[in-house]
Structure 1
Amino acid sequence: MDKLRLHGFNNLTKSLSFNIYDISYAKTEQHRQEYIAYIDELYNADRLTDILTQVTDIIGANVLNIARQDYEPEGASVTILIAEHPVAPEPEELSTGPGPLPESVVGHLDKSHITVHTYPESHPDNGISTFRADIDVSTCGVISPLKALNFLIHSFDSDVVIMDYRVRGFTRMEDGQKIYIDHEINSIQNYIDEGTKDQYEMIDVNVYQEHIFHTKMMLKQMELEHYLFGAGTDEFGAAELEDIQYRLSKEMQEIFYSRNMMPSKPVSKK
Protein backbone atom coordinates (compact mmCIF):
# COMPACT_ATOMS: atom_id res chain seq x y z
CA MET A 1 0.00 0.00 0.00
CA ASP A 2 1.35 3.47 -0.89
CA LYS A 3 2.07 5.80 1.98
CA LEU A 4 -1.09 7.65 3.02
CA ARG A 5 -1.09 11.44 3.08
CA LEU A 6 -3.06 12.09 6.25
CA HIS A 7 -4.66 15.15 7.76
CA GLY A 8 -3.13 15.15 11.23
CA PHE A 9 -1.96 11.77 12.53
CA ASN A 10 -2.99 8.13 12.18
CA ASN A 11 -5.45 7.48 15.03
CA LEU A 12 -6.73 4.05 14.04
CA THR A 13 -6.97 1.77 17.08
CA LYS A 14 -5.71 -1.80 16.57
CA SER A 15 -6.53 -4.27 19.34
CA LEU A 16 -5.20 -7.82 19.68
CA SER A 17 -6.57 -10.03 22.46
CA PHE A 18 -5.29 -13.46 23.52
CA ASN A 19 -6.56 -16.24 25.73
CA ILE A 20 -3.69 -18.69 26.15
CA TYR A 21 -4.33 -22.03 27.89
CA ASP A 22 -1.80 -24.49 29.30
CA ILE A 23 -3.30 -27.85 30.33
CA SER A 24 -1.73 -30.34 32.79
CA TYR A 25 -2.69 -33.38 34.87
CA ALA A 26 -1.96 -33.50 38.61
CA LYS A 27 -3.00 -36.79 40.23
CA THR A 28 -3.12 -35.99 43.95
CA GLU A 29 -4.34 -33.00 45.93
CA GLN A 30 -0.75 -32.30 46.91
CA HIS A 31 0.30 -32.35 43.24
CA ARG A 32 -2.55 -29.99 42.37
CA GLN A 33 -1.50 -27.48 45.03
CA GLU A 34 2.13 -27.77 43.92
CA TYR A 35 1.08 -27.18 40.31
CA ILE A 36 -0.75 -23.95 41.15
CA ALA A 37 2.21 -22.75 43.26
CA TYR A 38 4.62 -23.60 40.42
CA ILE A 39 2.59 -21.78 37.76
CA ASP A 40 2.02 -18.83 40.08
CA GLU A 41 5.78 -18.46 40.56
CA LEU A 42 6.69 -19.14 36.91
CA TYR A 43 4.33 -16.41 35.69
CA ASN A 44 4.60 -13.93 38.54
CA ALA A 45 4.30 -10.19 38.00
CA ASP A 46 8.05 -9.76 37.42
CA ARG A 47 8.17 -12.45 34.70
CA LEU A 48 5.01 -11.10 33.03
CA THR A 49 6.45 -7.58 33.08
CA ASP A 50 9.54 -8.86 31.29
CA ILE A 51 7.40 -10.58 28.62
CA LEU A 52 5.25 -7.48 28.02
CA THR A 53 8.28 -5.19 27.93
CA GLN A 54 9.73 -7.35 25.16
CA VAL A 55 6.39 -7.15 23.33
CA THR A 56 6.66 -3.36 23.58
CA ASP A 57 10.09 -3.53 21.96
CA ILE A 58 8.93 -5.87 19.20
CA ILE A 59 6.07 -3.68 18.02
CA GLY A 60 8.21 -0.54 18.09
CA ALA A 61 6.84 1.48 21.01
CA ASN A 62 7.95 3.12 24.27
CA VAL A 63 6.99 2.30 27.85
CA LEU A 64 5.35 5.22 29.67
CA ASN A 65 4.26 3.52 32.88
CA ILE A 66 4.08 0.01 34.42
CA ALA A 67 1.59 -1.18 37.06
CA ARG A 68 1.88 -4.78 38.33
CA GLN A 69 0.44 -6.89 41.09
CA ASP A 70 0.73 -10.46 42.44
CA TYR A 71 -2.47 -11.70 44.09
CA GLU A 72 -3.34 -14.00 46.97
CA PRO A 73 -3.91 -16.90 46.81
CA GLU A 74 -2.66 -16.91 43.19
CA GLY A 75 -2.60 -14.98 39.93
CA ALA A 76 -0.96 -11.78 38.72
CA SER A 77 -1.73 -8.71 36.60
CA VAL A 78 0.46 -6.29 34.68
CA THR A 79 -0.58 -3.16 32.78
CA ILE A 80 1.87 -1.16 30.66
CA LEU A 81 0.92 2.24 29.25
CA ILE A 82 2.74 2.62 25.95
CA ALA A 83 3.36 5.18 23.22
CA GLU A 84 4.27 5.31 19.56
CA HIS A 85 7.95 5.67 18.71
CA PRO A 86 8.98 9.35 19.08
CA VAL A 87 10.88 9.42 15.76
CA ALA A 88 9.89 8.11 12.36
CA PRO A 89 10.43 4.32 12.45
CA GLU A 90 12.16 2.38 9.71
CA PRO A 91 9.82 0.72 7.13
CA GLU A 92 10.60 -2.77 8.47
CA GLU A 93 9.48 -1.68 11.94
CA LEU A 94 6.01 -0.87 10.57
CA SER A 95 5.46 -4.13 8.70
CA THR A 96 2.69 -6.41 9.96
CA GLY A 97 4.34 -9.56 8.67
CA PRO A 98 5.20 -12.44 11.00
CA GLY A 99 7.15 -11.08 13.94
CA PRO A 100 10.11 -12.74 15.61
CA LEU A 101 10.14 -15.88 17.74
CA PRO A 102 11.28 -15.50 21.39
CA GLU A 103 14.94 -16.32 20.66
CA SER A 104 15.23 -13.52 18.08
CA VAL A 105 13.69 -10.55 19.93
CA VAL A 106 14.83 -7.04 19.13
CA GLY A 107 13.72 -4.14 21.16
CA HIS A 108 10.12 -0.59 22.14
CA LEU A 109 5.06 1.83 22.92
CA ASP A 110 2.80 5.36 23.57
CA LYS A 111 -0.92 6.38 23.73
CA SER A 112 -1.74 2.67 23.94
CA HIS A 113 -1.53 -0.20 26.43
CA ILE A 114 -0.67 -3.84 27.04
CA THR A 115 -2.23 -5.90 29.83
CA VAL A 116 -1.98 -9.47 31.09
CA HIS A 117 -3.97 -11.32 33.76
CA THR A 118 -3.32 -14.92 34.86
CA TYR A 119 -5.75 -17.54 36.16
CA PRO A 120 -4.22 -20.82 37.45
CA GLU A 121 -6.82 -23.36 38.59
CA SER A 122 -7.18 -27.11 39.19
CA HIS A 123 -10.22 -29.39 39.03
CA PRO A 124 -10.80 -30.85 42.53
CA ASP A 125 -11.96 -34.24 41.22
CA ASN A 126 -10.41 -35.36 37.93
CA GLY A 127 -6.88 -33.95 38.19
CA ILE A 128 -7.07 -31.57 35.22
CA SER A 129 -5.20 -28.32 35.92
CA THR A 130 -5.66 -25.42 33.52
CA PHE A 131 -3.64 -22.21 33.45
CA ARG A 132 -5.06 -19.27 31.49
CA ALA A 133 -3.35 -16.02 30.56
CA ASP A 134 -5.46 -13.17 29.12
CA ILE A 135 -3.39 -10.67 27.15
CA ASP A 136 -4.48 -7.47 25.39
CA VAL A 137 -2.27 -5.37 23.11
CA SER A 138 -3.96 -2.15 22.01
CA THR A 139 -2.14 0.40 19.83
CA CYS A 140 -3.05 3.72 18.25
CA GLY A 141 -1.23 4.93 15.17
CA VAL A 142 1.11 3.22 12.74
CA ILE A 143 2.52 0.57 15.11
CA SER A 144 0.86 -2.84 14.93
CA PRO A 145 0.21 -5.41 17.69
CA LEU A 146 0.28 -8.19 15.07
CA LYS A 147 4.08 -8.26 15.23
CA ALA A 148 3.84 -9.68 18.76
CA LEU A 149 1.87 -12.80 17.73
CA ASN A 150 4.70 -15.30 17.44
CA PHE A 151 6.54 -14.09 20.52
CA LEU A 152 3.46 -14.30 22.77
CA ILE A 153 2.41 -17.75 21.54
CA HIS A 154 5.89 -19.10 22.29
CA SER A 155 6.30 -17.26 25.61
CA PHE A 156 3.78 -19.63 27.22
CA ASP A 157 3.15 -23.38 27.03
CA SER A 158 0.28 -22.78 24.64
CA ASP A 159 -2.01 -25.80 24.19
CA VAL A 160 -5.00 -23.71 23.13
CA VAL A 161 -4.83 -20.10 21.91
CA ILE A 162 -7.89 -17.95 21.17
CA MET A 163 -7.19 -14.62 19.47
CA ASP A 164 -9.26 -11.61 18.43
CA TYR A 165 -8.00 -8.70 16.33
CA ARG A 166 -10.00 -5.59 15.51
CA VAL A 167 -9.29 -2.25 13.84
CA ARG A 168 -11.55 0.54 15.14
CA GLY A 169 -12.23 4.15 14.31
CA PHE A 170 -10.90 5.98 11.27
CA THR A 171 -8.16 8.34 10.23
CA ARG A 172 -8.62 11.05 7.61
CA MET A 173 -6.64 11.71 4.44
CA GLU A 174 -5.77 15.25 3.32
CA ASP A 175 -8.64 15.23 0.79
CA GLY A 176 -11.11 14.33 3.56
CA GLN A 177 -11.53 10.64 2.68
CA LYS A 178 -11.77 8.38 5.73
CA ILE A 179 -9.47 5.36 6.09
CA TYR A 180 -10.92 2.58 8.27
CA ILE A 181 -7.99 0.16 7.96
CA ASP A 182 -4.44 0.92 6.82
CA HIS A 183 -3.10 -2.58 6.09
CA GLU A 184 -4.16 -5.72 4.26
CA ILE A 185 -5.43 -8.66 6.30
CA ASN A 186 -7.86 -11.53 5.67
CA SER A 187 -6.87 -13.67 8.69
CA ILE A 188 -4.79 -13.47 11.85
CA GLN A 189 -3.08 -16.56 10.46
CA ASN A 190 -1.36 -14.32 7.87
CA TYR A 191 0.91 -13.09 10.65
CA ILE A 192 1.78 -16.41 12.33
CA ASP A 193 5.04 -18.20 11.59
CA GLU A 194 4.62 -21.20 9.24
CA GLY A 195 6.39 -23.54 11.67
CA THR A 196 3.96 -22.53 14.41
CA LYS A 197 0.93 -23.06 12.15
CA ASP A 198 2.12 -26.60 11.38
CA GLN A 199 1.87 -27.45 15.08
CA TYR A 200 -1.75 -26.35 15.54
CA GLU A 201 -5.23 -27.07 14.28
CA MET A 202 -6.83 -23.71 13.42
CA ILE A 203 -10.29 -22.25 12.89
CA ASP A 204 -11.16 -18.72 11.70
CA VAL A 205 -14.35 -16.73 12.24
CA ASN A 206 -13.98 -13.34 10.52
CA VAL A 207 -16.29 -10.39 9.88
CA TYR A 208 -14.38 -8.67 7.10
CA GLN A 209 -16.69 -5.68 6.60
CA GLU A 210 -16.31 -4.79 10.29
CA HIS A 211 -12.54 -5.48 10.41
CA ILE A 212 -13.02 -8.17 13.07
CA PHE A 213 -10.82 -11.27 12.93
CA HIS A 214 -11.01 -14.33 15.21
CA THR A 215 -8.66 -17.33 15.20
CA LYS A 216 -8.56 -20.38 17.47
CA MET A 217 -5.57 -22.73 17.73
CA MET A 218 -5.25 -26.17 19.35
CA LEU A 219 -2.02 -28.17 19.55
CA LYS A 220 -2.14 -31.20 17.24
CA GLN A 221 0.29 -33.55 19.00
CA MET A 222 0.25 -34.38 22.70
CA GLU A 223 3.24 -36.07 24.36
CA LEU A 224 1.68 -37.30 27.57
CA GLU A 225 4.92 -37.20 29.56
CA HIS A 226 4.96 -33.40 29.21
CA TYR A 227 1.46 -33.06 30.70
CA LEU A 228 1.96 -35.00 33.94
CA PHE A 229 2.80 -32.79 36.89
CA GLY A 230 4.62 -34.40 39.82
CA ALA A 231 4.73 -37.89 38.25
CA GLY A 232 6.02 -39.75 35.21
CA THR A 233 4.26 -42.17 32.87
CA ASP A 234 5.95 -45.11 34.65
CA GLU A 235 3.86 -44.37 37.76
CA PHE A 236 0.58 -45.17 35.98
CA GLY A 237 -0.94 -48.29 34.48
CA ALA A 238 -1.84 -48.49 30.79
CA ALA A 239 -5.58 -48.06 31.44
CA GLU A 240 -4.99 -45.05 33.70
CA LEU A 241 -2.70 -43.42 31.12
CA GLU A 242 -5.40 -43.88 28.48
CA ASP A 243 -7.93 -42.27 30.80
CA ILE A 244 -5.61 -39.32 31.55
CA GLN A 245 -4.99 -38.76 27.83
CA TYR A 246 -8.74 -38.75 27.24
CA ARG A 247 -9.31 -36.20 30.01
CA LEU A 248 -6.57 -33.89 28.73
CA SER A 249 -7.83 -34.11 25.16
CA LYS A 250 -11.41 -33.48 26.27
CA GLU A 251 -10.36 -30.40 28.24
CA MET A 252 -8.50 -28.96 25.25
CA GLN A 253 -11.37 -29.64 22.85
CA GLU A 254 -13.96 -28.13 25.20
CA ILE A 255 -11.91 -24.92 25.42
CA PHE A 256 -11.24 -24.90 21.67
CA TYR A 257 -14.90 -25.39 20.70
CA SER A 258 -16.28 -23.35 23.65
CA ARG A 259 -18.72 -25.99 24.81
CA ASN A 260 -18.95 -28.85 27.29
CA MET A 261 -18.72 -32.30 25.73
CA MET A 262 -20.42 -35.46 26.94
CA PRO A 263 -18.05 -38.30 27.88
CA SER A 264 -17.54 -40.71 24.98
CA LYS A 265 -15.99 -43.38 27.19
CA PRO A 266 -16.29 -44.38 30.86
CA VAL A 267 -13.89 -42.56 33.17
CA SER A 268 -11.96 -44.72 35.63
CA LYS A 269 -12.94 -44.35 39.26
CA LYS A 270 -10.35 -43.38 41.86
Structure 2
Amino acid sequence: MARKRKLKLHGFNNLTKTLSFNIYDICYARSKEEVSSYIEYIDEAYNAERLTNILTDVVDIIGANILNVAHQDYDPQGASVTMLISEEPIAAEKLSNTEAPGPLPDSVVMHLDKSHVTVHTYPESHPENGISTFRADIDVSTCGRISPLKALNYLIHSFDSDIVTLDYRVRGFTRDVNGKKHFTDHNINSIQNYLAADTKRRYQMIDVNVYQENLFHTKMLLKDFNLDSYLFGVDADDIPPKEQRLIVEALKREMLEIFYGRNIPKGMKLM
Protein backbone atom coordinates (compact mmCIF):
# COMPACT_ATOMS: atom_id res chain seq x y z
CA MET A 1 0.00 0.00 0.00
CA ALA A 2 1.36 3.41 -0.95
CA ARG A 3 2.31 5.63 1.96
CA LYS A 4 0.07 8.66 2.35
CA ARG A 5 1.95 11.88 1.71
CA LYS A 6 2.07 14.27 4.65
CA LEU A 7 -0.07 17.37 4.18
CA LYS A 8 2.02 20.53 3.85
CA LEU A 9 0.21 23.47 5.39
CA HIS A 10 0.37 27.21 4.89
CA GLY A 11 0.93 28.36 8.47
CA PHE A 12 -0.47 26.26 11.34
CA ASN A 13 -3.44 23.88 11.49
CA ASN A 14 -6.64 25.92 12.05
CA LEU A 15 -9.01 22.97 12.42
CA THR A 16 -11.01 22.81 15.65
CA LYS A 17 -11.91 19.31 16.86
CA THR A 18 -14.40 18.98 19.71
CA LEU A 19 -15.54 15.90 21.61
CA SER A 20 -18.65 16.37 23.77
CA PHE A 21 -19.07 13.50 26.18
CA ASN A 22 -22.11 13.01 28.44
CA ILE A 23 -22.28 10.13 30.92
CA TYR A 24 -25.16 9.07 33.14
CA ASP A 25 -24.99 6.91 36.26
CA ILE A 26 -28.39 5.67 37.49
CA CYS A 27 -29.20 4.60 41.05
CA TYR A 28 -32.24 3.63 43.16
CA ALA A 29 -32.54 4.89 46.75
CA ARG A 30 -35.69 3.81 48.64
CA SER A 31 -36.10 6.59 51.22
CA LYS A 32 -35.50 10.33 51.30
CA GLU A 33 -32.59 9.70 53.67
CA GLU A 34 -31.01 7.22 51.22
CA VAL A 35 -31.53 9.67 48.34
CA SER A 36 -29.81 12.38 50.38
CA SER A 37 -26.96 10.00 51.24
CA TYR A 38 -26.54 8.99 47.58
CA ILE A 39 -26.38 12.60 46.38
CA GLU A 40 -23.85 13.35 49.12
CA TYR A 41 -21.79 10.28 48.19
CA ILE A 42 -21.73 10.99 44.44
CA ASP A 43 -20.98 14.66 45.08
CA GLU A 44 -17.93 13.67 47.12
CA ALA A 45 -16.82 10.89 44.74
CA TYR A 46 -16.78 13.34 41.82
CA ASN A 47 -15.76 16.55 43.56
CA ALA A 48 -13.70 19.26 41.89
CA GLU A 49 -10.41 17.78 43.11
CA ARG A 50 -11.04 14.34 41.60
CA LEU A 51 -12.41 15.84 38.37
CA THR A 52 -9.26 17.96 38.11
CA ASN A 53 -7.15 14.79 38.38
CA ILE A 54 -9.22 13.08 35.64
CA LEU A 55 -8.88 16.06 33.29
CA THR A 56 -5.15 16.26 34.01
CA ASP A 57 -4.84 12.66 32.78
CA VAL A 58 -6.89 13.57 29.69
CA VAL A 59 -4.49 16.41 28.93
CA ASP A 60 -1.58 13.99 29.30
CA ILE A 61 -3.21 11.46 26.96
CA ILE A 62 -3.65 14.00 24.16
CA GLY A 63 -0.29 15.63 25.00
CA ALA A 64 -0.73 19.19 26.18
CA ASN A 65 0.57 21.71 28.65
CA ILE A 66 -1.91 23.05 31.21
CA LEU A 67 -1.91 26.86 31.21
CA ASN A 68 -4.64 27.52 33.76
CA VAL A 69 -7.10 25.58 35.95
CA ALA A 70 -10.36 26.88 37.42
CA HIS A 71 -12.46 24.56 39.60
CA GLN A 72 -15.45 24.91 41.88
CA ASP A 73 -17.63 22.73 44.12
CA TYR A 74 -21.21 24.02 44.27
CA ASP A 75 -23.78 24.22 47.06
CA PRO A 76 -25.93 22.16 47.37
CA GLN A 77 -24.28 19.84 44.81
CA GLY A 78 -22.28 19.59 41.59
CA ALA A 79 -18.81 20.67 40.50
CA SER A 80 -17.03 22.25 37.53
CA VAL A 81 -13.48 22.26 36.22
CA THR A 82 -12.08 24.24 33.27
CA MET A 83 -8.55 23.90 31.91
CA LEU A 84 -6.87 26.10 29.31
CA ILE A 85 -4.25 24.09 27.46
CA SER A 86 -1.46 24.60 24.94
CA GLU A 87 0.29 22.38 22.43
CA GLU A 88 3.24 20.16 23.30
CA PRO A 89 5.19 20.38 19.99
CA ILE A 90 7.54 17.41 20.52
CA ALA A 91 4.84 14.98 21.64
CA ALA A 92 2.50 16.13 18.88
CA GLU A 93 4.84 14.88 16.19
CA LYS A 94 4.74 11.34 17.63
CA LEU A 95 0.96 10.90 17.73
CA SER A 96 -1.38 9.48 15.13
CA ASN A 97 -4.92 10.40 14.06
CA THR A 98 -5.65 6.92 12.70
CA GLU A 99 -8.97 5.31 13.62
CA ALA A 100 -7.97 3.22 16.61
CA PRO A 101 -8.86 3.10 20.31
CA GLY A 102 -6.99 5.44 22.64
CA PRO A 103 -5.32 4.21 25.83
CA LEU A 104 -7.07 2.84 28.91
CA PRO A 105 -6.41 4.24 32.42
CA ASP A 106 -3.55 1.81 33.07
CA SER A 107 -1.65 2.76 29.92
CA VAL A 108 -1.78 6.57 29.78
CA VAL A 109 0.70 8.23 27.42
CA MET A 110 1.33 11.85 26.58
CA HIS A 111 -0.39 14.23 24.06
CA LEU A 112 -2.78 17.92 22.98
CA ASP A 113 -3.08 21.23 21.17
CA LYS A 114 -4.25 24.66 22.20
CA SER A 115 -7.79 25.04 23.51
CA HIS A 116 -9.69 23.81 26.56
CA VAL A 117 -11.05 20.88 28.55
CA THR A 118 -14.12 21.26 30.77
CA VAL A 119 -16.34 19.11 32.99
CA HIS A 120 -19.59 19.89 34.81
CA THR A 121 -21.54 17.48 37.04
CA TYR A 122 -25.28 17.35 37.74
CA PRO A 123 -26.44 15.01 40.55
CA GLU A 124 -30.25 14.96 40.83
CA SER A 125 -33.15 12.76 41.92
CA HIS A 126 -36.76 12.00 40.90
CA PRO A 127 -39.23 13.62 43.34
CA GLU A 128 -41.32 10.44 43.77
CA ASN A 129 -39.97 7.09 42.57
CA GLY A 130 -36.51 6.88 44.20
CA ILE A 131 -34.51 7.14 40.96
CA SER A 132 -31.38 9.30 41.20
CA THR A 133 -29.29 10.29 38.19
CA PHE A 134 -25.73 11.56 38.08
CA ARG A 135 -24.68 13.29 34.86
CA ALA A 136 -21.25 14.52 33.86
CA ASP A 137 -20.75 16.70 30.76
CA ILE A 138 -17.21 16.82 29.41
CA ASP A 139 -15.87 18.85 26.46
CA VAL A 140 -12.41 18.29 25.02
CA SER A 141 -11.63 20.85 22.32
CA THR A 142 -8.36 21.14 20.40
CA CYS A 143 -7.11 23.42 17.67
CA GLY A 144 -4.54 21.65 15.51
CA ARG A 145 -3.60 18.23 14.22
CA ILE A 146 -4.54 16.03 17.17
CA SER A 147 -8.05 14.66 17.76
CA PRO A 148 -9.47 14.54 21.32
CA LEU A 149 -10.98 11.12 20.52
CA LYS A 150 -7.82 9.50 21.89
CA ALA A 151 -9.05 10.34 25.42
CA LEU A 152 -12.40 8.62 24.91
CA ASN A 153 -11.63 5.21 26.44
CA TYR A 154 -10.02 6.75 29.51
CA LEU A 155 -13.07 8.93 30.16
CA ILE A 156 -15.56 6.07 29.81
CA HIS A 157 -13.54 3.99 32.29
CA SER A 158 -13.18 6.91 34.73
CA PHE A 159 -16.91 7.07 35.46
CA ASP A 160 -19.62 4.50 36.23
CA SER A 161 -21.22 4.91 32.83
CA ASP A 162 -24.69 3.39 32.30
CA ILE A 163 -25.52 5.64 29.35
CA VAL A 164 -23.03 7.60 27.25
CA THR A 165 -23.75 10.10 24.49
CA LEU A 166 -20.87 11.25 22.31
CA ASP A 167 -20.62 14.05 19.78
CA TYR A 168 -17.52 14.75 17.70
CA ARG A 169 -17.20 17.62 15.26
CA VAL A 170 -14.44 19.06 13.09
CA ARG A 171 -14.99 22.77 12.42
CA GLY A 172 -13.30 25.39 10.29
CA PHE A 173 -10.62 24.64 7.73
CA THR A 174 -6.88 24.72 7.27
CA ARG A 175 -5.08 25.72 4.07
CA ASP A 176 -2.24 23.92 2.34
CA VAL A 177 0.75 25.59 0.68
CA ASN A 178 -1.17 25.76 -2.62
CA GLY A 179 -4.09 27.60 -1.02
CA LYS A 180 -6.49 24.63 -1.07
CA LYS A 181 -8.85 24.39 1.92
CA HIS A 182 -8.95 21.17 3.97
CA PHE A 183 -12.03 20.76 6.17
CA THR A 184 -10.62 17.72 7.97
CA ASP A 185 -7.16 16.22 8.25
CA HIS A 186 -8.05 12.65 9.23
CA ASN A 187 -10.42 9.93 8.07
CA ILE A 188 -13.29 8.96 10.36
CA ASN A 189 -16.58 7.16 9.70
CA SER A 190 -17.64 6.40 13.30
CA ILE A 191 -16.69 7.28 16.85
CA GLN A 192 -16.96 3.55 17.54
CA ASN A 193 -13.65 3.00 15.74
CA TYR A 194 -11.94 4.75 18.67
CA LEU A 195 -13.50 2.50 21.33
CA ALA A 196 -11.68 -0.44 22.90
CA ALA A 197 -13.01 -3.95 22.18
CA ASP A 198 -14.19 -4.52 25.76
CA THR A 199 -16.22 -1.30 25.63
CA LYS A 200 -17.94 -2.39 22.42
CA ARG A 201 -18.87 -5.71 24.02
CA ARG A 202 -20.37 -4.03 27.10
CA TYR A 203 -22.59 -1.48 25.36
CA GLN A 204 -25.44 -1.38 22.87
CA MET A 205 -24.57 1.43 20.44
CA ILE A 206 -26.34 3.55 17.82
CA ASP A 207 -24.67 5.95 15.38
CA VAL A 208 -26.16 9.05 13.76
CA ASN A 209 -23.49 10.56 11.49
CA VAL A 210 -23.52 13.42 8.98
CA TYR A 211 -20.32 12.76 7.05
CA GLN A 212 -20.52 15.74 4.70
CA GLU A 213 -20.68 18.07 7.73
CA ASN A 214 -18.00 16.23 9.74
CA LEU A 215 -20.54 15.54 12.49
CA PHE A 216 -20.45 12.21 14.34
CA HIS A 217 -22.84 11.07 17.08
CA THR A 218 -22.86 7.80 19.06
CA LYS A 219 -25.19 6.69 21.86
CA MET A 220 -24.23 3.87 24.24
CA LEU A 221 -26.38 1.85 26.67
CA LEU A 222 -24.93 -0.71 29.09
CA LYS A 223 -26.11 -4.21 28.14
CA ASP A 224 -25.85 -6.07 31.44
CA PHE A 225 -28.36 -5.32 34.19
CA ASN A 226 -27.72 -6.48 37.76
CA LEU A 227 -30.14 -4.94 40.26
CA ASP A 228 -27.58 -4.93 43.08
CA SER A 229 -25.41 -2.60 40.98
CA TYR A 230 -28.17 0.03 41.01
CA LEU A 231 -29.26 -0.10 44.66
CA PHE A 232 -27.92 2.30 47.27
CA GLY A 233 -27.96 1.35 50.95
CA VAL A 234 -29.75 -1.99 50.50
CA ASP A 235 -29.24 -5.42 48.88
CA ALA A 236 -31.66 -6.91 46.36
CA ASP A 237 -32.18 -9.97 48.60
CA ASP A 238 -33.65 -7.70 51.28
CA ILE A 239 -36.39 -6.45 48.94
CA PRO A 240 -39.60 -8.45 48.27
CA PRO A 241 -39.81 -9.88 44.69
CA LYS A 242 -42.80 -7.72 43.71
CA GLU A 243 -40.99 -4.55 44.80
CA GLN A 244 -37.87 -5.73 42.97
CA ARG A 245 -39.83 -5.97 39.72
CA LEU A 246 -41.20 -2.43 40.17
CA ILE A 247 -37.71 -1.07 40.86
CA VAL A 248 -36.25 -2.86 37.82
CA GLU A 249 -39.02 -1.42 35.62
CA ALA A 250 -38.43 2.11 36.96
CA LEU A 251 -34.64 1.84 36.44
CA LYS A 252 -34.95 0.47 32.90
CA ARG A 253 -37.53 3.12 32.01
CA GLU A 254 -35.18 5.86 33.22
CA MET A 255 -32.26 4.43 31.24
CA LEU A 256 -34.25 3.97 28.02
CA GLU A 257 -35.76 7.46 28.24
CA ILE A 258 -32.28 8.97 28.57
CA PHE A 259 -30.89 6.76 25.78
CA TYR A 260 -33.66 7.56 23.29
CA GLY A 261 -34.16 11.15 24.46
CA ARG A 262 -37.91 10.92 25.01
CA ASN A 263 -40.45 10.00 27.68
CA ILE A 264 -41.90 6.49 27.40
CA PRO A 265 -45.68 6.25 28.06
CA LYS A 266 -46.64 4.24 31.14
CA GLY A 267 -47.90 0.80 30.24
CA MET A 268 -45.61 0.48 27.22
CA LYS A 269 -43.65 -2.79 27.36
CA LEU A 270 -39.98 -2.21 28.03
CA MET A 271 -37.23 -4.25 26.36
Same fold at TM > 0.5: yes
Query: Deviation digits for residues 126-157 of structure 1, max 9, x if unmatched?
Result: 00000000000000001210001100011000
Matched, 1:219 2:222: yes
Aligned counterparts of 2:120 and 2:96: Cα–Cα separation in 1: 27
Residues 26, 35 of structure 1: 8 Å contact kept: yes
Residues 81, 109 of structure 1: 8 Å contact kept: no
Partner residue in 2 for 1:198: 201
Matched, 1:232 2:235: yes
Aligned-partner SS, 2:57: helix
Matched, 1:16 2:25: no
The one-letter code of the counterpart of 2:262 is R
How far has the Cα of 1:101 moved from its partner?
1.1
Matched, 1:184 2:187: yes
Query: Deviation digits for residues 153-177 of structure 1, max 9, x if unmatched?
Result: 1100000000100000000000111
* RMSD (Å) for aligned C-alpha atoms: 1.5
Deviates more, 1:14-23 or 1:83-92: 83-92
Matched, 1:138 2:141: yes
Query: Deviation digits for residues 43-99 of structure 1, max 9, x if unmatched?
Result: 000000000000000011111110000000000000000111133634345555211
The one-letter code of the counterpart of 1:11 is N
How far has the Cα of 1:104 moved from its partner?
1.7
Partner residue in 1 for 2:48: 45
How far has the Cα of 1:107 moved from its partner?
3.6
What percent identity do the matched residue pairs reach? 65
Residues 59, 93 of structure 1: 8 Å contact kept: no
Partner residue in 2 for 1:36: 39
Instruction: Give the TM-score taking structure 2 as reference length.
Output: 0.95
The one-letter code of the counterpart of 1:81 is L
**C-alpha distance 183-110 of structure 1, shift in aligned 2 (>3 A):** closer
Residues 118, 133 of structure 1: 8 Å contact kept: yes
How far has the Cα of 1:17 moved from its partner?
0.0
Partner residue in 2 for 1:245: 248
Residues 225, 233 of structure 1: 8 Å contact kept: yes
Aligned counterparts of 2:147 and 2:164: Cα–Cα separation in 1: 19
Instruction: Work out which of the residue numbers 207, 210, 213 in structure 2 matches 1:210.
Output: 213
**C-alpha distance 264-63 of structure 1, shift in aligned 2 (>3 A):** same
Question: Unaligned regions of 5+ residues in structure 1, if any?
Answer: none
Aligned-partner SS, 2:26: strand
Aligned-partner SS, 1:196: helix
Aligned-partner SS, 1:83: strand
Aligned counterparts of 2:189 and 2:74: Cα–Cα separation in 1: 39
Aligned counterparts of 1:232 and 1:138: Cα–Cα separation in 2: 41
Partner residue in 1 for 2:166: 163
The one-letter code of the counterpart of 1:84 is E
Instruction: Give the TM-score taking structure 1 as reference length.
Output: 0.95
Trace 1:81-160 onto structure 2 (pairs within 5 A): 81-87=84-90, 89-92=92-95, 95=98, 97-160=100-163
Aligned counterparts of 2:238 and 2:33: Cα–Cα separation in 1: 16
Aligned counterparts of 2:131 and 2:57: Cα–Cα separation in 1: 31
Residues 67, 80 of structure 1: 8 Å contact kept: yes
The one-letter code of the counterpart of 1:156 is F
**C-alpha distance 66-98 of structure 1, shift in aligned 2 (>3 A):** same
Aligned counterparts of 2:119 and 2:226: Cα–Cα separation in 1: 28
Aligned counterparts of 2:152 and 2:5: Cα–Cα separation in 1: 25
**C-alpha distance 186-154 of structure 1, shift in aligned 2 (>3 A):** same
Question: Unaligned regions of 5+ residues in structure 2, if any?
Answer: none
How far has the Cα of 1:265 moved from its partner?
6.9
Residues 23, 252 of structure 1: 8 Å contact kept: yes
